[in-house]
Amino acid sequence: MRSPAFQDAMKNQLTLYVFVAVLFVVGAIFGGLMVNALTLEQQQDLATDVNQYIRLINQGAAPDAAQTFWDSFMFHGKWLFLLWFLGISVVGVPFVLALDFLKGALVGFAVGSLITQHAWKGVLFSLASVAPPNLIVVPAIMITSVAAITFSTFVIKNRLLQQKGALTPQIATFTSTALLMLLLLAGASLLEAYLSPYFMQWAAPYLNSNHV
C-alpha cells in the first residue's frame, strides 16, 4: 500500500505538470495572437520568407540533414542546459517558468503564422512541420522543468529551512532526468532533420493548390 508521503509527492508532481502545461498553452495562445500584432509590412516580410521556404521544400530542395540535426540538437541542448542550470541555482525557478511560457509562445507564433497566411492549409502544414518534433520536445522540456522546480523546492524546504535531507541523491536524480531528456531531444532533432522534410514535401503542394 502506498504511503501518504508517496501519495502527496505524486499529487504535487501532478499539480506541477498541470501548471507547466497550462503555462505552455497560455504561451502558445499569446504567440498565436502576436502574429496579428505585427505590422502589415512585418506580416508581408514573414509571409515572403515562409513562402520562399515552402517553395524550396515543394521543389525537393531540402536543407542538409546533418547540419539541420546539429543545429536543432544544439538549440534544444542549450535550452535544456539552461533549465538544468536554473534549477540547480534554486533562485532561477521563475526563469524556468518564463522559458516554458516562451517555448509555448514560439510554437504558437510558428503555427499562428502559417494559419494566418494559409488558413486550414496552414493547419495541415503545421501538423507536418511544427508538430512532429515538438511532440517530443515539449514533453521533454516540461519534464525537465518539473524536475527543476521539484529540486529547487526540496532545497528550499529541506536544506534552507529545516536543514535535513541528503542533497546528493536529489542532484543525481535531477541531472539523470535532464540527461535522459537530452536523449529524447536528440531523437526529436533526428526526426526534424530526416523525417520532417518528407512530411513537409507531402504537405507543401496543398499550400499552393486549389484543394478545398
Concatenate the DSSP letters of all residues of the chain into one string.
---HHHHHHHHHHHHHHHHHHHHHHHHHHHHHHHHHHS-HHHHHHHHHHHHHHHHHHHTT-PPPHHHHHHHHHHHHHHHHHHHHHHHHHSTTHHHHHHHHHHHHHHHHHHHHHHHHHHTHHHHHHHHHHTHHHHHHHHHHHHHHHHHHHHHHHHIIIIIIIS--S-SHHHHHHHHHHHHHHHHHHHHHHHIIIIIHHHHHHHHHHHHTS---
Residue 125 lies in a domain: yes
Residue 56 lies in a domain: yes
Residue 67 lies in a domain: yes
Residue 210 lies in a domain: no
Number of domains in the chain: 1
Question: What would the pLDDT profile of 8-51 be if each residue is shown by its tens digit?
Answer: 667 878 999 999 999 999 999 999 999 888 777 777 777 777 77
- pLDDT in the model for residue 121: 81
Whole-number average pLDDT of the chain: 85
Residue 211 lies in a domain: no
Is a pLDDT exceeding 70 seen at residue 191?
yes
Q: In which band, very low, low, confident or very high, does the pLDDT at 211 lie, cut at 50, 70 and 90?
A: very low
Is a pLDDT exceeding 90 seen at residue 198?
no
Residue 115 lies in a domain: yes
Residue 126 lies in a domain: yes
Residue 212 lies in a domain: no
Question: What would the pLDDT profile of 140-170 be if each residue is shown by its tens digit?
Answer: 999 999 999 999 988 888 766 666 667 888 9
Question: What would the pLDDT profile of 4-18 be if each residue is shown by its tens digit?
Answer: 656 666 787 899 999
Q: Which residue segment(s) compose the domain that 18 sits in?
A: 4-205
